[in-house]
């Protein structure tokens, strides 16, 4: 039986096996499947053709060269691993195009698959096990980390990209994670800058890691925004972190500062007796849900009369931060809903927590940044949306702040 006849027989046998699998509803793809065998046969034949073509060209150029055996290796494909025999030549000048000498995959998108699995919150070890299950090959944890490190230049470019000169709304908040540093696990603050631009598009302006959350570190974040081109912010929404307002005033003195009402209520309720909790919550709600700031002041006065003697600290805290708690009262209902709380950025943090749920700690700050960046980009449809009723909000901002709009938009 000559080579051509042998190939016909092998092809017919594969055809019959594939047909049998189809009727028995067994998978055509995967390790040991007929399709994998067919692909393996095709790849090896193509490599043979490349080698023959290379040697023919060498001979035409007057160079003496001939075949010199094979190098065997396992190659990953989307249909499972296959055994490849790469032809060698005596002069070692043959460089196959289909699969390079050092390549271990056949355009299978393995790197992309590893990054996608990592972006879904899987640990490096989880990814290693999943790749073994999907492709039937062992890849070391170090190799997986090396592959995911390929996104670091992309992250750096994203972190330093130029920003718009004006943002109507920016939310500032932090989330905390455990990171290993010099063999010891400690907490790191992961700073998030979430925004709404003039077109109503929500976007992340930056992600930053520091040892703790503090006003000084937030100042460094704001300085970075300025370096990247942000000249003006209309409203900055924050939690009630001590010193936050002073830091914002230093970097963006024209920005309206809005402290989170939800944080304020939560802090107010910390030391309220259980028997009074429901009534106190109702009384506080009358303050922040009032239609005007004057009505809110009246509600605060009523609260003081009812609860001032028992919970004087609540009255004192609200009066001290009144201007920044009530900033939203100067806007219409659509903007009010967007700025009276930092819930939008906290919703983003909930997405992050859901993705990395169950992960106790990260081996480094780089590993933490890498995974959260990938996770957010992988799930950007859930947080990168246009704000509701934005045209109405635009008109209100244009009417109230014409100089700001003329400076940056018109």
- Please name the residues in contact with 366: beta carbons below 8 A apart, sequence gap of 6 or more: 152
Mean pLDDT, the chain, rounded, equals 85
- Do 251 and 391 lie in one domain? The reply is yes
* Closest alpha carbon to 113 in 83, 137, 89: 137
Report how far residue 45's alpha carbon sits from residue 56's, in angstroms, rounded to the nearest whole number. Answer: 16
Structure tokens at 357: 């749920």
Say what the pLDDT of residue 330 is: 95
For the segment 131-190, what is each residue's pLDDT rounded down to a tens digit?
A: 777 666 667 777 777 777 878 888 899 999 999 999 999 999 999 888 877 778 888 889
Report how far residue 303's alpha carbon sits from residue 297's, in angstroms, rounded to the nearest whole number. Answer: 10
The Cα-based distances of 35 to 45, 86, 130, 134, 400 in angstroms read 15, 20, 22, 16, 67
Say what the pLDDT of residue 24 is: 62
Say what the pLDDT of residue 371 is: 85
Say what the pLDDT of residue 129 is: 82
- Do 56 and 182 lie in one domain? The reply is no
- Look-up of token digits 């700001």: 404
As to burial, measured by CB atoms within 10 angstroms (0-12 exposed, 13-18 middle, 19+ buried), residue 393 is buried
- The share of the chain scoring above pLDDT 70, in percent, equals 87
Range of the domain at 237: 155-408
- Look-up of token digits 């594969």: 14
- Do 10 and 95 lie in one domain? The reply is yes
The Cα-based distances of 48 to 59, 84, 362 in angstroms read 17, 11, 46
- Do 228 and 167 lie in one domain? The reply is yes
Judge whether 147 lies within some domain.
no
Judge whether 337 lies within some domain.
yes
Report how far residue 145's alpha carbon sits from residue 139's, in angstroms, rounded to the nearest whole number. Answer: 10
- Do 38 and 175 lie in one domain? The reply is no
Higher pLDDT, residue 128 or 402 = 402
- Please name the residues in contact with 45: beta carbons below 8 A apart, sequence gap of 6 or more: none
Judge whether 138 lies within some domain.
no
Q: Which of 45, 77, 107 is the last residue of a domain?
A: 107
- Do 76 and 174 lie in one domain? The reply is no
Say what the pLDDT of residue 25 is: 57
Judge whether 27 lies within some domain.
yes
E strand segments, 126-222: 166-181, 184-196, 202-210
- Do 209 and 271 lie in one domain? The reply is yes
Asked whether residue 198 carries a pLDDT value surpassing 70, the answer given is yes
- Do 33 and 102 lie in one domain? The reply is yes
Judge whether 252 lies within some domain.
yes
- Do 71 and 170 lie in one domain? The reply is no
- Do 171 and 48 lie in one domain? The reply is no
Judge whether 117 lies within some domain.
no
Of 69-83, 241-255, 369-383, least confident by mean pLDDT is 69-83
Mean pLDDT of 218-246: 94
Report how far residue 284's alpha carbon sits from residue 305's, in angstroms, rounded to the nearest whole number. Answer: 13
Asked whether residue 86 carries a pLDDT value surpassing 80, the answer given is yes
- Counting the structural domains of the chain, the total is 2
Judge whether 123 lies within some domain.
no
Mean pLDDT of 53-71: 89
- Look-up of token digits 């920005």: 255
For the segment 300-332, what is each residue's pLDDT rounded down to a tens digit?
A: 999 999 999 999 999 999 999 999 999 999 999
- Do 16 and 84 lie in one domain? The reply is yes
Judge whether 55 lies within some domain.
yes
Give the predicted TM-score (pTM) of the model. 0.73
- Do 285 and 398 lie in one domain? The reply is yes
Q: Which of 107, 123, 141 is the last residue of a domain?
A: 107
68 φ/ψ angles, rounded to the nearest 5 degrees: -145, 50
């Amino acid at each position: 039986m000559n080579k051509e006849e042998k190939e016909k027989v092998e092809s017919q046998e594969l055809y019959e096996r594939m047909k049998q699998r189809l009727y028995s509803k067994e998978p055509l793809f995967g390790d040991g499947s007929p399709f994998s065998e067919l692909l393996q046969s095709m790849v090896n034949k193509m490599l043979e053709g490349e080698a023959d073509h290379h040697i023919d060209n060498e001979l035409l150029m007057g160079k003496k060269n001939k075949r010199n055996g094979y190098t065997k290796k396992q190659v990953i494909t989307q249909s499972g691993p296959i055994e490849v025999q790469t032809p060698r030549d005596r002069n070692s000048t043959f460089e196959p195009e289909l699969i390079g000498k050092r390549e271990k995959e056949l355009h299978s998108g393995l790197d992309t698959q590893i990054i996608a699995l990592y972006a879904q919150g899987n640990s490096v070890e989880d990814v290693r096990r999943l790749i073994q299950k999907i492709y039937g090959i062992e890849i070391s944890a170090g190799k997986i980390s090396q592959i995911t490190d390929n996104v670091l230049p992309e992250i750096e470019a994203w972190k330093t990209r130029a920003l718009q000169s004006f943002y109507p709304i920016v939310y500032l908040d932090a989330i905390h994670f455990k990171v290993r540093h010099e063999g010891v696990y400690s907490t790191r603050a992961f700073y998030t800058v979430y925004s709404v631009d003039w077109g109503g598009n929500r976007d992340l302006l930056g992600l930053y890691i520091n040892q703790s959350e503090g006003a000084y570190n937030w100042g460094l974040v704001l300085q970075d925004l300025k370096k990247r081109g942000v000249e003006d912010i209309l409203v900055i929404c924050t939690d009630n972190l001590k010193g936050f307002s002073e830091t914002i005033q230093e970097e963006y003195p024209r920005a309206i500062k809005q402290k989170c009402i939800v944080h304020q209520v939560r802090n107010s309720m910390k030391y309220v007796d259980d028997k009074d909790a429901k009534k106190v919550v109702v009384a506080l709600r009358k303050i922040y849900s009032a239609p005007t700031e004057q009505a809110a002041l009246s509600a605060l006065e009523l609260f003081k009369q009812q609860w001032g003697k028992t919970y004087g600290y609540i009255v004192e805290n609200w009066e001290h931060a009144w201007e920044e708690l009530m900033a939203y009262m100067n806007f219409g209902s659509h903007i009010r809903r967007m700025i009276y709380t930092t819930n939008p950025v906290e919703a983003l943090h909930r997405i992050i927590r859901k993705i990395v749920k169950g992960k106790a700690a990260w081996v480094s700050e780089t590993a933490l940044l890498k995974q959260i960046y990938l996770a957010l980009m992988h799930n950007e449809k859930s947080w990168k949306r246009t704000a509701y009723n934005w045209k109405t909000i635009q008109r209100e901002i244009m009417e109230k702040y014409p100089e700001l709009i003329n400076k940056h938009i018109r």
